Structure 1
Amino acid sequence: MSKLNPPKIRVHLITGFLGTGKTTALRSLMAQKDPAEQWLIVVNEFGEIGIDGAVLGDNGIPVAEISGGCLCCAAGAQMGQTLDTMLRQNRPDRIMIEASGLAHAAGVIDELKAPAFRDRLDIAAVFTVVDPRQFINPEFARNPLYQDQIGVCDVLLASKTDLCSPEELAQFRKRAATLFPPKALIAEVEQAQAQIAWLDTPVVEKPRYRIKALPDNTQGFQSQGYTFPAGQNFDGERLCRFFDELPSLAQGLVRAKGVFQVMDTWVWLNWTDGAWGANQVSWRRDSRFELIAKQFDSDEVYRRLQAALEA
């Protein structure tokens, strides 16, 4: 890579509700860091262990604190200014951002993809630290902020597993396995002790893939998934028309759902029981669509999806 086109800096967001162990997870990663790799750290809160704004522990890693509010809301401009200043003063290989437990994670990702950073930063694996007991609690599941943090991540890190009963862990595993889009990695740890190798978790899907879990697929159903890179916008009207036409494209359709970038926002479309609906979603990695049916032409479905992209 030439000096005119330096490699992008890998950025990892660590998010999660208050008290789940985000700071502990970050410290565990720092303890395993290759001494030859240069890091920067941005924190949006005083963690449960305490951060002094100059260094974290004895590692000598540059740290910046952004106080007050959420990284993507009141502190959004400050985050951009802080990152820009740190990048002028340092040449890191990796940036770690610990967001407040009250941060809207998708908004943080949008800030990192802003034009000022688009050519400098690469959004690598995003982590969300959860307490399995909260994860299986319907009150948490209905919380939009909690949904946002779960939806945006690539790596779902279940902490405090030593405080969970076997039944609670079983419920966590069952629900986590059905998340859409699926997570690149679901890990269970005690006391938020993350493994350094998880930073390099692959986050790029193939353009087409088979759905990994097809429950009770004994009646001749087939499945297919499709992905499109972030940055490719879908046309809202064409996408609606595609979902309206799904029953004629897929014989015996039983499930169809997807997340799509539409006019630079992200929406979740879900077809079930002969009808479909749409909601905003926090996923930012790619647009993707999955369906399960008795019979369909995979190439034709892909052609129709391509046709729904903006010209």
Structure 2
Amino acid sequence: MPIPAYLLTGLLGSGKTTVLRALLAQAPAGSRPAVLVNDFGTVGIDAAVLAGAGGAGEITVREVGGGCVCCTAAASLRAAIPALLRAARPDRLYIEPSGLAAPAAIVDLLREPALRGAIELRAVIGLVDPRRLDDERLLRAPLLRAQLELADVLLATYADVASPAQLERFRAFASTLYPPRAHIGAIAHGDFDPQWLKDITRAAQPGWRLTRSQPPAARAEHGWTFAPEVIFAAPKLTALFAGIGRDGPLAPVERAKGVLRTGRDWRLFDAVAGGGLTVSDVSWRRDSRIECIAFEDARPDWTAIGAAWRAARGETGAEGGQQGGQ
């Protein structure tokens, strides 16, 4: 049975260790949480701090040294996880990489066949100090955007000392992320609510609702999700998104948006009928998903549209796309 794992991301000084201490303090009696830390050179301090943070649980803390686990120390992480699972037999695993780590690369590594059977990545927790967002250049920094785009739970830390304007700037930015985060909030002193992790799973979920909005014009929205192992062919996707509102099964669609895995990369596709298509790299890794909006009176054939998306899978893609709105 795979061990549930949780990844904490955030720049240096964002409060990862404080939040991790709070999570460990909530460990139930008899539990055996384990932690892998990648802050090279400070693990002696981190190990002492984290090992004493548990409530009634028995905590094991290990260092992954040799550099950042997303690049130079990737091999060390591959070896450290099985060794830690064998030695400590934990019932959950927390991974705290360096604040300089590119988190998407870590998620890709954790999904490699050698590790996939041993652990199940349940959630990515992204942390940001909202006071640093006063520098708008930081919001455009690739590393910070990658960390925020990947997070399932996205939190502003230091809420007790950040100004209302700084917290509002964080919320405004977080609300623009696509797909929406499972939870967006602000905390102080690592006050993490474990309920935020309860319903998060990294498997594709059915049940996207078919929604209708009334005046000024009734629209129908439909969505599809695919497991993260499904791989799509980028040229096929580009042709489909570029063709909305023109011909074929997507002719009735006025807007389409999706994040999809294309080989090792994941891309965000955003298309508007008559308005062109934009494609950009994205750090999202939970699942591939597409949503379309059409005027109801255009009578879109959602079954045919879903078949078109599934036909865009690459030859190496897995089966298992799920359609919502049923």
SS of equivalent to 2:83: helix
Q: CA RMSD in A?
A: 2.7
Alpha-carbon distance in structure 1 between the residues aligned to 2:133 and 2:5:
26
Partner of 1:266: 266
Partner of 2:208: 209
Say if 1:128 and 1:156, in contact at 8 Å, map to a contact too: yes
Q: Which moved more, 1:104-113 or 1:46-55?
A: 46-55
Counterpart of 2:306 (choices 278, 292, 302) is: 302
Alpha-carbon distance in structure 1 between the residues aligned to 2:294 and 2:172:
23
When residues 250 and 222 of structure 1 are mapped into structure 2, their CA distance, relative to the original with a 3 A threshold, is farther
SS of equivalent to 1:302: helix
Gapped regions of structure 1 (runs ≥ 5): 1-6
Partner of 2:218: 220
Say if 1:23 and 1:49, in contact at 8 Å, map to a contact too: no
Q: 1:124-153, CA deviations, whole angstroms, 9 ceiling, x for partnerless residues? A: 011001123345753122111111101111
When residues 105 and 275 of structure 1 are mapped into structure 2, their CA distance, relative to the original with a 3 A threshold, is same
Deviation, 1:58, is 5.5
Alpha-carbon distance in structure 2 between the residues aligned to 1:27 and 1:38:
14
Q: Which moved more, 1:154-163 or 1:198-207?
A: 198-207
Alpha-carbon distance in structure 1 between the residues aligned to 2:258 and 2:135:
25
Partner of 2:236: 238
User: TM (normalized to structure 2)?
Assistant: 0.84
Alpha-carbon distance in structure 2 between the residues aligned to 1:92 and 1:19:
27
Counterpart of 2:28 (choices 27, 34, 51) is: 34
Deviation, 1:55, is 6.0
AA partner of residue 57 (structure 1): G
Say if 2:167 and 2:186, in contact at 8 Å, map to a contact too: no
Deviation, 1:288, is 0.7
AA partner of residue 278 (structure 2): G
When residues 206 and 83 of structure 1 are mapped into structure 2, their CA distance, relative to the original with a 3 A threshold, is closer
Alpha-carbon distance in structure 1 between the residues aligned to 2:303 and 2:59:
50
Deviation, 1:267, is 1.5
Alpha-carbon distance in structure 2 between the residues aligned to 1:202 and 1:291:
24
Alpha-carbon distance in structure 2 between the residues aligned to 1:217 and 1:103:
47
AA partner of residue 306 (structure 1): R
AA partner of residue 24 (structure 1): T
Alpha-carbon distance in structure 1 between the residues aligned to 2:280 and 2:183:
25
Q: 1:59-82, CA deviations, whole angstroms, 9 ceiling, x for partnerless residues? A: 441111123432110111111111
Partner of 2:293: 292
Alpha-carbon distance in structure 2 between the residues aligned to 1:232 and 1:212:
26
When residues 54 and 48 of structure 1 are mapped into structure 2, their CA distance, relative to the original with a 3 A threshold, is closer
AA partner of residue 46 (structure 2): I
Q: 1:140-198, CA deviations, whole angstroms, 9 ceiling, x for partnerless residues? A: 22111111101111111221122232233233323322310111111221122212333
